[in-house]
């Protein structure tokens, strides 16, 4: 990789270690976790996590050539977006993909291996039945991808909480429907949170 561009002394250019980055879902996040830099994206329904060094080169101690991946076949959407990463006590991360009503989670160990003890063979999947008929299925191109307007309307994120738990938020600005999910450290919904682990919010448009 060539010399990184810099702004105010911070590196802003990375080389994605994924084998075919041009085929990813085009929602790559660059996230600092535990002093390390991670890249997160999807390849269809497959979650892709890479780890890079300070100079942007692949960290070859993580997975295969600096990246690891795992398929989340439960998604009804062919191109979910990167939700975020949750740091783990052993140095690994929980990584998430989302669409307006679905959240898929995979736990990766510090060395990039998928933690098969997490959920069902390394995967936890949550579906929220809340999308309105007016927003479901709209904004698709001929190849099945979300168009740019629809993609910008679908929002989602992960954020850590205390005791290893974490929150996820899913929503669609067009429909005005959002859901806040509270997950336990093992990825399961926290039933003590609203009795279901999910709080629904309807935005008044």
For 38-60, what is the mean pLDDT?
A: 91
Tokens 């810099």 -> residue: 6
Residue 186 has pLDDT above 90, yes or no: yes
Tokens 């996230």 -> residue: 31
DSSP state of 163: G
**φ, ψ (nearest 5 deg) of residue 151:** -60, -40
Q: Report residue 177's pLDDT band, with 50, 70 and 90 as the boundaries.
A: confident
pLDDT 10s digits, 122-132:
999 999 975 44
**φ, ψ (nearest 5 deg) of residue 6:** -135, 145
Length of the chain: 205
DSSP state of 150: H
pLDDT 10s digits, 129-156:
754 433 333 444 445 454 444 455 788 9
Bridge partners (DSSP) listed for residue 64: 67
Model pLDDT, residue 77: 83
Is the separation of the CB atoms in 73 and 148 below 8 Å?
A: no
Average model confidence (pLDDT) across the chain: 82
pTM score of the predicted model:
0.81
């Amino acid at each position: 990789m060539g010399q990184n561009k810099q702004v105010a002394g911070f590196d802003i250019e990375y080389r994605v270690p994924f084998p075919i980055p041009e085929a990813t879902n085009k929602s790559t996040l660059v996230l600092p976790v535990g002093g390390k830099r991670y890249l997160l994206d999807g390849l269809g329904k497959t979650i892709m996590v890479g780890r890079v060094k300070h100079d942007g080169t692949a960290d070859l101690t993580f997975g295969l050539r600096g990246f690891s991946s795992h398929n989340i076949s439960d998604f009804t959407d062919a191109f979910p977006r990167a939700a975020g990463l949750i740091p783990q006590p052993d140095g690994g991360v929980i990584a998430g993909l989302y669409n307006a009503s679905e959240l898929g989670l995979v736990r990766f160990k510090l060395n990039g291996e998928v933690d098969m003890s997490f959920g069902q063979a390394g995967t936890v999947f949550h579906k929220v039945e809340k999308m309105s008929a007016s927003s479901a299925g709209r904004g698709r191109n001929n190849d099945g991808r979300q168009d740019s307007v629809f993609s910008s309307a679908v929002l989602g994120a992960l954020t850590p909480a205390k005791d290893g738990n974490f929150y996820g938020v899913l929503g669609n600005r067009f429909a005005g429907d959002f859901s806040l999910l509270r997950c336990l450290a093992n990825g399961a919904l926290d039933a003590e949170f609203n009795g279901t682990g999910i709080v629904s919010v309807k935005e008044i448009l």
